Structures are given as C-alpha cells and as structure tokens.
Amino acid sequence: MKMRAGYSIFLLILSLTVCNAGKLSNTFYKNTCPQVEKIVREIIQIHTRNNPSLGAQLIRMQFHDCFVRGCDASVLLDTVSNSKAEKEAIPNQSLGGFDVIDDIKAAIERVCPKVVSCADILALAARDAISSPFKKSMWSVQLGRRDGRVSLATEISGNLPSPFANFTSLVQLFKGKGLNVNDLVVLSGAHTLGDSRCGAFSRRLYNFTSKGDADPSLDPTYAKILRKKCPNPASPAITVEMDPGSSLSFDNHYYDILLQRKGLFVSDAALLTDKNSNKIVTRLQRSRSLFFTAFAKSMKKMAAIGVLTGNAGEIRQNCRVVNPGKN
C-alpha cells in the first residue's frame, strides 16, 4: 500500500510538471535567471533616452511577430540562403529596434547563457519601452516562450492586418488568432504611437472612388493637410504621425482622432463602421485608465498567440540565427 501511495504521488507530481511545462508564468525565470527583467528594463531605459520612438518600434515588432507563426521571435531571424525571412517582407521592412534586442540578448547571455528566449526578450522589451515614461510597468508579461526555427517572408501575406482592411476582414483575422472585437479595438490603440509611410494610406487621398476624390470617411480638412504632406505618387521617404501631436505618448488620444474621422488608415476608419466596435471606441476615448487596463488584458492574450513551450522550439543563443546542429 505504501509503495502504491508513493507511486501515485510520484505520478501526480510528474503530471503536474508536464502540465506546467506548457504554460507561461510570471515567475518562469525565478530560479534560472532572476535578473532577466532588471537587465531588460535597464537597457531599455538607456535606449529610450536616445530614441523616444523605441516604444512604437518594439510594440509594432511584437505585433508583427505574434501574428505570424505565433510569438516565437521568428521576425528576428535573418535571411538564410535563398529563403527570405519575415523581416524582408514589405510590411516588415520598416521595422526598427533589432539592435536593441541584440544588446539585451548579449547582456543576458553573459549572465544566464542559453536560458532566456528571444521571444521572451521581445515581449519584455516592448512592454518596458512603452512603460519607460511612466516609471512603472504598464502590464505584466508572462514568460516561458521558446524560439521558433522558421521564418518565411511568404507567410506574411494574410497574417498581418492590412492598413487597407475593412471591418469584416479585420474581425476574421483577429478571430483566427484567438482575439475578439474588443481586442481588435483595444490593440488598435497602439496606433497612438509612431508614424507611417505615405504609401500605407495615400490611396485614401487620391482617386479613392475613381473620381479623383478622397475617401469620404476621412475628414476633408485633414485630407487636404495629408495631401500637402504626401504628394502623389507616394514617396517612401516621407512619413506622417499616426496620431497627430501625440505620436510619442502612449495614451488614449488615438480614439479622439478616430472619432474626429482622422484615423490614418482604412483599417482605423473601419472601427467606426460597426455599432459594437464604435461603442468600444467611445468608451476608450472617455477614459485613459480604462484604456490602460483594457490594453494590458489584450496584450496578455496577444502575447500568448501560438507560443512554443516545454521542449518545442529552442532557446536561441543569437536572436538573428537559429542554433547550429539541428535540422
């Protein structure tokens, strides 16, 4: 009986271990690399002093990573041979911040070699770059992701939200990632940061309905301003703030401009074409604290899309290349 009881306890412990191996956790590196969050935070603080747009760069990089193959740091991989990596695809050619991830990875490897994944580093770095001006973490990041070994530019199409997408297309895409309409509206709030090349929205300014006109859903006065900034044809060298006057501040101002019909992309304006989505926009516009709380919840969901855990994937030693010696 004692042997059976002991064996049963052993099986229970083994079962719990196997179950927990596949889960993300706030304390994943507690015993193996307890300094990881401190290291990331300190390096991000240094970089944000010199680059105030780093938050916009890294949160966008995380979105683009998680929406293709899940949050596995595949967006960080460089092209190998003739197979172009994700970062070579047109929507990703404007991504920035890869050097910052390299700096963080190198620092962590010196302290905790072969322990912390690039996917976890990206999740922490994006959070901390956004949080830096607030002097506190704006959301918690669960850890335990492992890194993927595949990165293909051909997989970008159909996985990343297009700036030209209508509401139905956006909902379908987000649903396929395990995200709902609320997540769609909340995460779109990240457009309060950063800027965009004219080519991503110039179609709204010129001959939108084949009559030489602008998109009627865009405020006409704002359309005139944008046409002055973005001549036709669009120049890849010209960029425009996505949230005019607030592109370096993480706040709910995006919803103000959205309700003023000044959202830059077709996909922004699309959020007002659905009754439920429109209500969410209005609620978030009225309360910055509500937006922060909602963004934290949606980021937790987004950052868990398709994660590799347990023995899946690997822990890259260099975020730009897969580890040698595996097929």
86 is in an annotated binding site: yes
According to the annotation, is 251 in a ligand binding site?
Answer: yes
**Among 41, 64, 145, 262, the one annotated catalytic:** 64
Alpha helices (H) along the chain: 2-21, 36-50, 54-66, 98-111, 118-131, 167-176, 181-188, 220-229, 253-259, 266-269, 275-286, 288-302
Decide if 47 is catalytic. Answer: no
Contact assessment for residue 145 and residue 71, using Cβ atoms and an 8 Å cutoff: yes
- Residue 65, annotated as binding a ligand: yes
The Cα 48–Cα 130 span in angstroms is 9
192 is in an annotated binding site: yes
Q: Is 161 marked as binding a ligand?
A: yes
Please say whether the beta carbons of 235 and 173 come within 8 A.
no
- Confirm whether residue 219 is marked as ligand binding: no
Annotated binding-site ranges:
65, 68, 70, 72, 74, 86, 161, 191-192, 243, 251
Annotated binding-site ranges for substrate:
161
Annotated binding-site ranges for heme b:
191
Annotated binding-site ranges for Ca(2+):
65, 68, 70, 72, 74, 86, 192, 243, 251
- Which residues are identified as catalytic? 64
